[in-house]
Amino acid sequence: MTCAPPNSRPIPFGPAATDTSVPPLGRTWPVGTRPPVLRGWEPPATPYGRGHRGIDLAAAPGTPVRAVAAGRVSFAGRVAGKGVVSVELPGTGDPPLRTTYEPVRASVREGDEVAAGEVVGTVEPTGSHCTSTCVHWGLRRGETYLDPLSLLPPWLLRRAPSRLLPVLGVPLPPPSS
């Protein structure tokens, strides 16, 4: 599984469903600085087919959940017993993109304007479909599910560059005369 989204146009269903129409400025991970992805994007082959319509990020109960990008809270409440926060991203087309986070204890209300990185709630201790506590992060345009990682710029997706470190126990070469 790779965390980098494929470079292709969004399609309703299929492995390459991404959306890159939102500029990568003012973006952040919803939890942590680069949380482990417990389960990646697995788009269904058909509208009601099997798949995973978002990604699951490792997060302890009580972890602050932040808006990935600036927008307006379109929903903050409970769905099927789980806390859900959805943020609509203005200027992203018609219909606009919408990010969703669950299970989250909301600290915002419908209609609130949020900045990228602003806390919208905290991870709830129960209600997750993960084996350990996580936050499910989804992205949609209308009825089309997209890979939420497509919202993040490449430099946020990459791990730090490799660095060579000295090997202990290996003798140094003699000084040159």
Residue found by looking up tokens 């942590």 in the block: 32
Nearest by Cα to 35 from 68, 6, 8: 68
Alpha helices by DSSP H, 43-173? 154-157
Answer whether 0.85 is exceeded by the pTM: no
pLDDT band at 166; cut points 50, 70, 90: low
Question: Using one digit for the tens of pLDDT, what is the confidence trace for 26-57?
Answer: 889 999 888 998 988 888 888 888 888 899 99
Output the pLDDT for position 87: 98
Is the confidence at residue 6, as pLDDT, over 50? Answer: no
Helix-then-strand count for the chain, H and E: 1, 11
Task: Report the C-alpha gap between 133 and 152 in whole angstroms.
Answer: 23
Coil, helix or strand at residue 148: helix
Output the pLDDT for position 122: 98
**35-44, 117-126, 158-167: which range is least confident on average?**
158-167
User: Using an 8 Å Cβ cutoff, are 43 and 2 in contact?
Assistant: no
Where are the chain's structural domains?
37-144
The CATH number fitting domain 37-144, selected from 3.30.70.1290, 2.70.70.10, 3.20.20.70, 1.10.10.10: 2.70.70.10
User: Using an 8 Å Cβ cutoff, are 8 and 133 in contact?
Assistant: no
Mean pLDDT of 109-131: 91
- Say how far residue 2 (Cα) sits from the centre of its chain: 14
Task: Report the C-alpha gap between 166 and 154 in whole angstroms.
Answer: 29
Output the pLDDT for position 90: 94
Is the confidence at residue 105, as pLDDT, over 80? Answer: yes
Task: Report the C-alpha gap between 110 and 75 in whole angstroms.
Answer: 5
Averaged confidence pLDDT in the chain: 80
Output the pLDDT for position 168: 57
How many angstroms separate the Cα of 103 from the Cα of each of 8, 58, 138?
30, 12, 12
Is the confidence at residue 173, as pLDDT, over 70? Answer: no
Output the pLDDT for position 154: 74
The dihedrals phi and psi of 146, each to the nearest 5 degrees, come to: -130, 165
